[in-house]
Amino acid sequence: MNIVIVEDDDSLMALYINAFNKYIESNKDLSILYFQSTISAIKFCRDNSVDLILMDIGMHHDIDGIEATKIIKNNNKNIKIILMTAYKLDCLPNIKKEGIESGADLVIEKPLKISEYFKIIDGILKLKYNE
């Protein structure tokens, strides 16, 4: 299974890389690829098999995550997409609505505890993370 993480914040990306190495150890059949550009992620997803994408909504140097979701889902409706935002969803409910309408399977606030990311992924991909 292939998971793609799309995040333009260097410190969050470093956190994801470090934490997801442990996740891969618990799930040997997983491959995780990291992109700091939605354009690069869109191209990769178009040309490769991807099961799940975790993508930041507010990509500052590229197409935002909502638009990228529309493009990716237009090419492959079977890819599961989790959109992540630093905004409080209670304060900006339209972000969640736009994300779901774009084709995302879930819209979450970030950052979460790493174990919470794993639980969400496990639920979507039906995997088991061993803490």
Question: How sure is the predictor about 127, in pLDDT bands with cuts at 50, 70 and 90?
Answer: low
Look at residue 131 and tell me if it is in a domain. Answer: no
Kindly report the CATH number assigned to the domain that includes residue 37: 3.40.50.2300
Domain range spanning residue 75?
2-125
User: How does pLDDT run across 77-124, given as a tens digit for each residue?
Assistant: 999 999 999 888 777 778 999 999 999 999 999 888 888 988 888 888
Look at residue 69 and tell me if it is in a domain. Answer: yes
- The whole-number pLDDT of residue 131 equals 46
Give the DSSP per-residue string, 58-92.
--TTSS-HHHHHHHHHHH-TTSEEEEEESS-TTT-
Look at residue 130 and tell me if it is in a domain. Answer: no
- The whole-number pLDDT of residue 129 equals 47
Other Cβ atoms less than 10 A from the Cβ of 92: the count is: 12
Written as six digits, the tokens of 2 are 């292939």
Q: pTM value?
A: 0.90
10 versus 26: the higher-pLDDT residue is: 10
- The whole-number pLDDT of residue 24 equals 83
